[in-house]
Amino acid sequence: MTKHWFVTFSLASLMLAGAGCDETESTDAGTDASVLDTSTGTDTPVMIDAPIMTDTPVMTDAGNDAGEMGDGGMPLPAITNPDPHTVPASADGHDRLFGAVFAADSSFYVVGQTAAGTAAPIDWQTVVGHFGADGELDTEFGTDGWFVIDLTTGTGELARGIALQSDGKIVVSATVDDEDATDLRDKDIAVFRLDTDGALDTTFGEDGIRIADLSPGGLDGTTFRGDAAYGMALDAMDRIIVSGEAIGAERTDADWAVVRFTADGALDTAFDEDGIFTLDIGERNARGRGVSYLPVGPGIIVVSGYFDTAAAGNPIDPILFALDNSGALATSFGEGGIFTEHILAIQTEVYGVAVVGSQLATTGYGRVTGTQNDLVSLRLSADGVRDLTYGPDGADGVSLLTSFTLADNARALAALPGGGTVHVGATRTADPVPGPPSVPAQADAIVWVLDADGALDTSFDTDGWATADTAPDSVDHFWAVAVDPRGERVVAVGIGGTNPATDDDGLIYLFETP
């Protein structure tokens, strides 16, 4: 693994400028990875200021961009259930969905977690399902519509990434337990591939699976940090790009990590010498989130995330960085390949990034004051400069949705035809109350649509946003969104009916494009 340290005067100035801000813990809607994880815890470099080509067939960034027409324009079947609804993969256990991708025929695949029961500790397994263009489960896929695999035995298995290679095969990425670790909280990154009928493709990796151990993990104070897989994209050669985190060598703080595998599941040594790129900026913990592959010439990789709070006075700031196909920072992007700014006074997080026309749009959350997050979107040019005209008048380049009283969390976005974006996440309806007896947080899943200028698109549900509440006192949450190749339908997936005392299920909302 090649280590990259990057510090600039401008970045240091930003950190100093935020030194007057009080450190405040991020407030979540109740279903972030730390909660869902029941464990403790060589190509020619390319200049990227060229226009982003949005009509290139199939931009495969795990479902975030619309691609080519797959069926000659034949009408799609009617959506059987047009309302947000739960879908159980297991009869008696928790089921949670974190990723989705459309196929060329406008059917779609989902990925997430499943378990045999609800009592802790839970041995989470990875689940993949296939649904038709009408939203009905395809019972010919896998076993009765689902493929289930236990990648490693333990409580930390969490699959988020799913994408389709050019031949239709399904690639999945996940965070898994390190079965050789001395500490059971240590994690690795895994990828595997399925045939289109829902069977493990044993020609991929080692008998269908490839596991990469990026770092040994370790304690950072009282928090154990290890490898984590978050975003996934495929490039034009079907190579697999996974973004996430790894622990810094001989340090305890997390670094941003990008791993590239060949199309058949080997670490790609043409990428930063060993297939693994890591980035460290100062001593603040990295949080690696989304990744997009931009088909500009031979292509670039843009990764999104944020700095975690590390010391009193440090705000949480966003980051996007760009890599060329050799695994080097694309220096024409931002400053030396990196964009970061101190935007909102206390917190600005970027969870997802999508290609929209000739620009990049983000989704995330943050706050100016207090302890409650609001929903945030930014827009950048292709060369990593923030667009200060984005958002409502006077917003200075920030689309900030403050319509809700309690904490809001954005998780993913996708580009829509016409230049708008669809975003998903959750908005808290009740804060947790410590016990005994304790009362968990409650939240509704939310979808909101922004027009090309970053304002709410009121053609969607009359006011630009809609929420889903599947059960009383539940924590409903959308974690992923995808637009079908024709640009006609959107699917949002997540968790519905979450209650610690009962069985929760995957949440699906299939609807027509605004």
Say if residues 295 and 59 touch (Cβ distance below 8 Å).
yes
387 and 362 Cβ atoms separated by less than 8 Å: no
Contact call for residues 37 and 122 (beta carbons, < 8 A): no
Task: For 250, list phi and psi in degrees, rounded to 5.
Answer: 60, 25
pLDDT, one tens digit per residue, over 367-417 is 998 889 999 999 999 999 999 999 987 788 999 999 898 999 999 999 999
Mean pLDDT rounded to a whole number for the chain: 84
User: Which residues lie below 8 Å from residue 163, measured CB to CB, with a gap of 6+?
Assistant: 60, 61, 62, 63, 101, 170, 171, 232, 233, 234, 240
Is the pLDDT assigned to residue 314 strictly greater than 80? no
pLDDT digits (tens, 9 = 90+) for 157-169: 999 999 999 999 9
Structure tokens at 200: 């493990």
Q: What is the pLDDT of residue 64?
A: 42
Regarding predicted confidence, which is higher, 205 or 500? 205
Interval 264-268 mean pLDDT: 98
Q: Is the pLDDT of residue 350 over 50?
A: yes
Q: What pLDDT is stored for residue 462 in this prediction?
A: 95
Cβ atoms 504, 94 nearer than 8 A: yes
Closest CA to 452 of 401, 368, 389: 389
| CATH classification of the domain holding 475 | 2.130.10.10
Report the pLDDT averaged over residues 92-113. Answer: 96
> Pairing state of beta strands 379-381 and 2-5?
unpaired
* Domain assignment of residue 491, given as a range: 2-512
Percent of the chain, pLDDT > 70?
80
- Could you give the number of structural domains in the chain? 1
Kindly indicate the confidence band of residue 244, based on its pLDDT and cuts at 50, 70 and 90.
very high
Q: Which residue has the higher pLDDT, 326 or 226?
A: 326
Give this prediction's pTM. Answer: 0.86
Q: Span 210-231, mean pLDDT? A: 80
| Residue 505 pLDDT level (bands cut at 50, 70, 90) | very high
**Given this model, what pLDDT does residue 298 score?**
66
List of residues 6+ apart from 460 with CB closer than 8 A: 447, 448, 449, 466, 514
pLDDT attached to residue 88:
93
Is the pLDDT at 154 greater than 70? The verdict is yes
At 463-503, the pLDDT tens digits run 999 999 998 888 999 999 999 999 999 999 999 986 655 78
